[in-house]
Amino acid sequence: MNTTRRDFLQVAGGIAATGAIMGALSPEAHAQADGTVTEHVLAPLPYAYDALEPYIDAKTMELHHGKHHAAYVSGLNAAEAALAKARADNDFTLVQHWSKRAAFNGGGHFLHSMFWKVMAPTGAGGGEPEGALRDAINRDFGGFEPFKQQFNAAAAQVEGGGWGLLHYRPEDDRLIILQAENQHKLSPWGAWPILGLDVWEHAYYLKYQNRRTDYIDAWWNVVNWKQVADNLAALKK
């Protein structure tokens, strides 16, 4: 990083140009009028590494947050810095490469930032949603159990690394379940994730080895339904 960019970062601190929806769900990014972007940062976990025991083990959480998520943050910063340099140099030879890197790592940063928030320490999470979220799930899936069964199947059947995701689609006011491969593929436009389950092997292999469905079953015990409801409410505004 050059001095100009570093100095710029120290004074930047405006409101995200992406608005309230992104602000509610995603890590902060401050796009500036001159086209530069401040560096993304890895926020601390909102609980201790061992807070999700015994469902998700402390070592997995430590590596997942401190190594995997951190790598997506640095990868996104590297891609955005490279794209800024390409603009400055008027050399777009590698724009395809860096665009792909920005999508992959940006997807990873966004989804992991949400993932930590939609889990709560053991004893504080789990159960079933309430209020408007419960009503929307009942309306769009025919009940909590059918919703859960479809979500479980979607997460279990992700090919390779990826995610099971519950999205809200404002256009027709519906909840939909989707898969993502890697951090970003299979994502439609105009639908926003409000709940996600990471089913990359790095998310569960230390404790569950090849038993992805056991990990999925255990994860429901730490879902933070209050946060999911808040994510939905933010999108409905």
**Binding flags for Mn ion, 66-85, as an x/- string (CB under 5 A):** --x-----------------
For residues 200, 221, 211, 155, the Cα torsion angle rounded to the nearest 10 degrees is -50
Q: How far apart are CA 219 and CA 193, in angstroms?
A: 17
Is 199 a binding residue for Mn ion by CB under 5 A? The answer is no
Which of 198, 212, 216, 229: binder of Mn ion (CB under 5 A)? 198
Nearest residue (CB) to Mn ion, 118 versus 175: 118
Nearest residue (CB) to Mn ion, 8 versus 200: 200
Residue nearest to Mn ion (CB): 198
Nearest residue (CB) to Mn ion, 21 versus 70: 70
**Binding flags for Mn ion, 114-153, as an x/- string (CB under 5 A):** ----------------------------------------
Do 223 and 119 form a contact (C-beta atoms < 8 A)?
A: yes
Which region among 75-83, 180-188, 195-203, 216-224 touches Mn ion (by CB under 5 A)? 195-203
Which of 47, 55, 200, 220: binder of Mn ion (CB under 5 A)? 200
Nearest residue (CB) to Mn ion, 24 versus 63: 63
Distance of CA 220 to CAs 125, 152, 186, 194, Å? Answer: 8, 10, 23, 15
Which region among 62-70, 128-136, 142-150, 208-216 touches Mn ion (by CB under 5 A)? 62-70
HEC profile of the chain: CCHHHHHHHHHCCCCCCCHHHHHHHCCCCCECCCCCECCCCCCCCCCCCCCCCCCCCHHHHHHHHHHHHHHHHHHHHHHHHHHHHHHHHCCCCCHHHHHHHHHHHHHHHHHHHHHHHCECCCCCCCCCCCHHHHHHHHHHHCCHHHHHHHHHHHHHCCCCCEEEEEEEECCCCEEEEEEEECCCECCCCCCEEEEEEECCHHHCHHHHCCCHHHHHHHHHHHECHHHHHHHHHHHHC
Which region among 44-52, 60-68, 97-105, 122-130 touches Mn ion (by CB under 5 A)? 60-68
Which region among 40-48, 130-138, 177-185, 191-199 touches Mn ion (by CB under 5 A)? 191-199
Which region among 61-69, 70-78, 94-102, 211-219 touches Mn ion (by CB under 5 A)? 61-69
Q: What minimum distance in Å lies between the beta carbon of 88 and Mn ion? A: 33
Total chain residues near Mn ion (CB under 5 A): 3
Nearest residue (CB) to Mn ion, 149 versus 209: 209
Residues at the interface with Mn ion (CB under 5 A): 68, 198, 200
